[in-house]
Amino acid sequence: MHIEEINKARIFIYNVLSLLLVEEHVKQQSSLIIENLKLLEANAFDEDAAMAVQNILNYLAQKPENELYRSYQDLFLVPFGKHVSLSSSQYYEQREAGAMLVKVRDILSKTKIRRDENSFKAPEDHYGFIFTLCSYLIGQEMEQTIKEELHKELFKTVINPFVDQLSFSLMSSENEIYVNVGVLLDVFMNFERSFLEVAKVA
């Protein structure tokens, strides 16, 4: 596959992950999420990823329209039970809005993009925002609008050290949808490590 096609696929997958992890998207754009999951299933880059996406689609097909948002609320908004944090700072130092927030904002300051507080209320170290930023940075680097390897910097300093904890938490959650999102995330992050030549953190 040509490098440009790979980068377009990477942008698409980061966007899918972002859609699945941002409350406003899950609440208001479930049909778009399902449409993108169907595209991903038809063009899967990995057998495990294809199965995970298929599991999500099959489950949602049997449920009411608001099932995706209900699952999101149960896992990410209810502060007890199988709650999973989407804060990278939480995984780094067990508190919200910590060092990872500073690192993301530092990378963000080198770009023209800013967080839209109307559609995205969580801080910049939220994984939903981080994955949105990833897709933006890859696109800007493809267009040579950004000369620095900011996506690789973001991946190495913020994503790679802690994302395995997030994917493991998702896969252990028993949430029918987000167990499979965890599998998709794990497979894709391993691909990213290989593509970017970044070693997995022990």
Residue pair 119/24 in contact (Cβ under 8 Å)? The answer is yes
pLDDT digits (tens, 9 = 90+) for 14-56: 999 999 999 999 999 999 999 999 999 999 889 999 999 999 9
Q: Which domains does the chain have, with CATH numbers?
A: 3-196 (1.10.3480.10)
pTM of model > 0.75: yes
Convert the pLDDT of each residue in 145-180 to its tens digit. 887 899 999 999 999 999 999 999 999 999 999 999
Query: Could you read off the pLDDT of 56-103 as tens digits, one per residue?
Result: 999 999 999 899 999 999 999 988 778 999 999 999 888 777 889 999
